[in-house]
Amino acid sequence: MDDARVPAPPVVPVRPSLPRPARPPRDDAARAAEQLTADATRTATARKLQAATARPDLDGLASVAARLFGVSSGRISLLADGPTVVGVSGPQPVDPGRTPGEALALTVCSQTAAAARPLVIPDTHLDVRVAELPAVRDGRVGSYLGAPLATRDGRVVGALCVFDPGARDWEAGDASLLQHLADAATAELELAVVGEVASGSSVLEAAVASAGVGTFDLEVATGRVVWDEQTLALFGLTREEFTDEVDFAIDRIHPDDRGTVRADLAVAVATGAYTSSYRVVLPDGTTRWMEARGRVLRDGAGGSERLVGTVLDVTAQHRVVERIAGALEGMAVGYVAVDRDWRVVHVNAAAEALSGTPRADLVGRTVVDLFAGDPTATDVLEDLVRQAQREGEAVADVTRPGPPERWVEVRAVAEGEGLAVYLVDTTARRAAARAVERLGTRAALLAEVTAVFTGPDATDDPDDPDDADDAAQRLAELVVPALADWSVVTLVDDGAEEEEHAVNTPVRSVPHPDDLRRGLRDVGRWHRDPDRVPLVVRYAEHRLPDLTEHAFLWRALREGRPLRVADATAAVSAVLSPDGTARRVLAELAPSSALVLPLRGRGRTVGLLTLLSGPDRAPLDDEDVQTVVELAGRAGLALESARLHRLQRRFAEALQRSLLTDPPAPPHADVVVRYVPSARTAQVGGDWYDAVEQPGGTVLVIGDVVGHDTRAATVMAQVRTVVRTLTAVGDDPPAEVLARADRVVVSSQPDVTASVLAVRLEDVPGGGGGTRLRWSSAGHPPALVLGPEGSVTALEAPDADLLLGVDPAAPRRDHVVDLPAGATVLLHTDGLVERRDASLDEGFAALAAAVVAVAAEHPADLDALVDGVLARTLPAEAADDVAVLAVRLRPRG
């Protein structure tokens, strides 16, 4: 194959390996190879073709095949008395050192020749035909694609194959494409045979041995030409139609190629070697491609006496070339073929689009001018080409100025005396990488904010008001310069009725600024330039007093959402007192954009974050704003937690006496209760337990109001009273009690949510001594059931019902389970399973394991069971309150 006419295809990434199933039993795979050995030994054509070895064009064809399929190696082998490799590319397996017949039987290519059709093996280790062959066992051939080399009369003389060490999934059209390349290889080998001819008689012998190759003998002086029967057949003529004049022969050639043939003949007379490629028009009007080769025989005086040679139909080879060219043209990867003088000889459509220059203008120019008008790209390409010539391959990135900006990866690979240059648009890939980097930065920032507000050093003393101020200052420093040039953090102080009304109730009219200012303090401030931090501090000292009723800060408080401010210097100055200090300082800071957003806790605003940037920084985009919102949410929750903690301590002792009641004593059951306060909530919280007698049975209730402050504890007492009252006044099942309680809670405490689990202990119809549990859960953690035999199951519903206080119209369902006497039911709040360092599933698994282990140690002591479970599951410093209600069922009836 003429490598100059066929641009090298791009390197295709190797497809992933297939999973390897268990290997099937091996049959006698050598039988077919042994039969092939006997057949191939008798193949005279193959032995003739073995004389043509070490041909660069065949190596090039093997290289084209390997690159086209994206594998590491290619090989062209002839199989006669033994295997002969005539074309290679990439790492090759070591041929076995045995007799020719034995060596042939041990090659993978022998299987291709034996089949006389393409051989496709995704995983050679699983194929019984080849699994035990040396090249497979030593790991050199893990996947294989081969096509037979067949002469025009159908005789198989060898194989063209490509292979990789690993398994791979070949595509549907791969075998057909490789067969086209194999046909081209056969044509090259047939031409190689006749290329060794030195006389007319040897030409005739070679032609006879090589089916499909015609011969000719031209007398230079007279122009008389002799064609053999094969040549006549190639041109579609009979002996009677043929005349022995060279002009008659040239008249059979396509008109567009006649001048080329005459020029090639003149070169042959001058140099002694003849090569020509041309089209012929057959009598039926069809066109075929021919390849002619020969040499000039000299007389005693050194003159040209005769030109003898061969002619071969290479139409199939040209079709392969056209197919490869078509494949290159349709590739998404840009491809540019470059000759030894750095001149562009071929450009596909993708390369034309990426270069931005018509291909007609690129062909003939040097490759360094591929991106015309871009001096930076020219320098990059020159360095790239020189490196590829030295090292065989080089890669560089080129930036195409926008808009829009585009990035192109340029890869140059040495091919023969020239280069193959591949272009890939990496703009999307780089954008994705930048997005990943941005997500990483965002995640790191959020993690740092979380650590600041929830880590071990976040609140050294929850009662210290300065602790919140320190957290606000750390927040102001964290967001600069990651999100803004400078920042101000405002806190809402505890306990002011005016502030509660102004900030946390719906605003139907614009309140007076004095009402809004009560309880607000600008305590965090920072600037990316340390020299400008004093300016920010001074601005924060005077901002709140200077704000008018139209300030963005008040809007953010009222609307509870982020506010973007463009042209920030002018816009913010317009809502500051004209004569105030804040406006003058703002003019020095000169922000061009700003973002104001509330820091929200659980149902209230605990502060505000103001981010400002100068003209050298683009305003925050939607993704940035989302990051700030998430960051503010974490900071707001942390600040709210600290605030609730401080408020809760004020009334902890008084509430504790009313909350920790004696355990209930229902009939037919033993009950043990425990209440473990958080290590940081002063023995008070929103968890509770209760028991109420109904005509239908004993109702056990456990619940948890969302929140960990004194208000949550107070509301908990109210919710518990509501549930207890609605349970006691009738005989409603648990689901109905919770549904009615939900309506009462929403109407009386619209901002309260609580999880509740209600379980009624009933007689089992028909007796038997067991107990029926009828239960309903309002978003509460499932209870655990410890069977008498020691197994543990969870009371989980297929569909979870909502917490109280979310949607009073939501349906609530009862669930029923019958338990034997001796079973234990463990009701608990979420503090028993929730951990910062573990998932909820891990917490439930740890609780179940603890119940099983302690029950084995104390099978009859319910108090010991509960205490043992708490000792195994609760950390030394509990982060949440925990209520536990354990019920051991006695026989009924």
- Per-residue pLDDT, averaged over 507-530, amounts to 70
Do residues 886 and 671 make contact, with C-beta atoms less than 8 angstroms apart?
yes
What values do phi and psi take at 364, rounded to 5? Answer: 100, -20
Tokens matching residue 27: 């049959």
Q: How far apart are CA 424 and CA 428, in angstroms?
A: 11
Do residues 476 and 491 make contact, with C-beta atoms less than 8 angstroms apart?
no
pLDDT confidence of residue 141: 92
pLDDT confidence of residue 529: 94
Compute the C-alpha angle 423/321/168, nearest 5°.
65
Amino acid present at 455: G
Tokens matching residue 777: 């859960």
**Which range has highest mean pLDDT (207-216, 872-881, 882-891)?**
882-891
CB-based contacts of 821: which residues, under 8 Å, 6+ apart? 769, 770, 771, 788, 889, 890, 891, 892
pLDDT at 392 over 70: yes
Q: How far apart are CA 172 and CA 436, in angstroms?
A: 36
Q: How far apart are CA 860 and CA 846, in angstroms?
A: 22
pLDDT confidence of residue 26: 39
Q: How far apart are CA 474 and CA 453, in angstroms?
A: 9
Tokens matching residue 390: 């030295």
Q: Name which of 515-519, 611-615, 779-783 the model is least confident about.
A: 515-519
Look over the chain and give the mean of its residue pLDDT values, rounded to a whole number. Answer: 80
- Per-residue pLDDT, averaged over 710-716, amounts to 76
Do residues 80 and 50 make contact, with C-beta atoms less than 8 angstroms apart?
yes
pLDDT confidence of residue 649: 56
Percentage above 90 pLDDT, the chain = 32
pLDDT at 799 over 60: yes
- Residue 754's CB is within 10 A of a number of other CB atoms, namely 30
pLDDT confidence of residue 128: 85
Helix (H, G, I), strand (E, B) or coil at 337: strand
Q: What is the pLDDT of residues 349-378, one digit of tens each?
A: 888 888 888 888 888 888 888 887 678 888
pLDDT at 117 over 50: yes
Which residue from 187, 170, 98, 179 is spatially nearest to 134, judged by alpha carbons?
A: 98
Higher-confidence residue of 786 and 94: namely: 786
Do residues 528 and 480 make contact, with C-beta atoms less than 8 angstroms apart?
yes
Helix (H, G, I), strand (E, B) or coil at 456: coil
Higher-confidence residue of 338 and 106: namely: 338
pLDDT at 221 over 50: yes
- Per-residue pLDDT, averaged over 826-837, amounts to 89
Per-residue DSSP letter, 283: T
CB-based contacts of 87: which residues, under 8 Å, 6+ apart? 55, 58, 59, 60, 61, 62, 74, 75, 76, 160, 185
pLDDT confidence of residue 454: 65
- Residue 399's CB is within 10 A of a number of other CB atoms, namely 16
Q: How far apart are CA 514 and CA 527, in angstroms?
A: 28
- Per-residue pLDDT, averaged over 325-353, amounts to 81
Do residues 758 and 737 make contact, with C-beta atoms less than 8 angstroms apart?
yes
Q: What is the pLDDT of residues 144-164, one digit of tens each?
A: 999 998 876 677 888 999 999
Tokens matching residue 54: 């070490």
Compute the C-alpha angle 389/390/392, nearest 5°.
65
Percentage above 70 pLDDT, the chain = 79
Q: Which domains does the chain have, with CATH numbers?
A: 30-194 (3.30.450.40), 197-319 (3.30.450.20), 331-425 (3.30.450.20), 456-649 (3.30.450.40), 652-889 (3.60.40.10)
pLDDT at 343 over 70: yes
Tokens matching residue 77: 């082998």
- Per-residue pLDDT, averaged over 774-798, amounts to 94
Tokens matching residue 186: 């056969």
Provide the whole-model pTM.
0.36
- Per-residue pLDDT, averaged over 711-737, amounts to 89
Identify any residues that bridge with 423 across adjacent strands, giving them in sequence order.
Answer: 334, 410
Which residue from 91, 117, 136 is spatially nearest to 182, judged by alpha carbons?
A: 117
pLDDT confidence of residue 469: 83
Q: What is the pLDDT of residues 91-112, one digit of tens each?
A: 888 765 555 555 666 788 888 8
CA atoms 848, 850, 851, 857: torsion sign: positive
Do residues 582 and 605 make contact, with C-beta atoms less than 8 angstroms apart?
no
pLDDT confidence of residue 134: 87
Q: CB burial class (10 A; 0-12, 13-18, 19+) of residue 552? A: buried
Helix (H, G, I), strand (E, B) or coil at 844: helix
Tokens matching residue 273: 């070697």
Per-residue DSSP letter, 366: B
| Band of pLDDT at residue 202, cut at 50, 70 and 90 | very low
- Per-residue pLDDT, averaged over 505-518, amounts to 48
CB-based contacts of 128: which residues, under 8 Å, 6+ apart? 24, 25, 26, 27, 29
Q: How far apart are CA 434 and CA 182, in angstroms?
A: 46
What values do phi and psi take at 30, rounded to 5? Answer: -75, -15
Do residues 727 and 699 make contact, with C-beta atoms less than 8 angstroms apart?
yes
Give the distance from CA 763 to its chain's centroid: 57
pLDDT confidence of residue 156: 84
CB-based contacts of 562: which residues, under 8 Å, 6+ apart? 556, 595, 596, 597, 625, 628, 629
Give the distance from CA 140 to its chain's centroid: 31
Q: CB burial class (10 A; 0-12, 13-18, 19+) of residue 551? A: buried
Do residues 225 and 218 make contact, with C-beta atoms less than 8 angstroms apart?
yes
- Per-residue pLDDT, averaged over 849-862, amounts to 94
Q: What is the pLDDT of residues 4-26, one digit of tens each?
A: 333 333 333 332 333 333 333 43
Q: Helix and strand tally (H, E) in the chain? A: 29, 30
- Per-residue pLDDT, averaged over 494-510, amounts to 41
Q: Name which of 24-33, 451-460, 788-797, 837-846 the model is least confident about.
A: 24-33
Compute the C-alpha angle 869/874/875, nearest 5°.
145
Q: How far apart are CA 590 and CA 435, in angstroms?
A: 30
- Per-residue pLDDT, averaged over 576-594, amounts to 94
Q: Tokens 């549990």 appear where?
A: 773
Q: What is the pLDDT of residues 734-758, one digit of tens each?
A: 999 999 999 999 998 888 899 999 9
Q: What is the CA radius of gyration of the chain?
A: 44
Instruction: Kindly provide the residue ranges of all beta strands, DSSP E only, lying in 401-519, ordered along the sequence.
Output: 406-415, 418-425, 486-492
pLDDT confidence of residue 445: 79
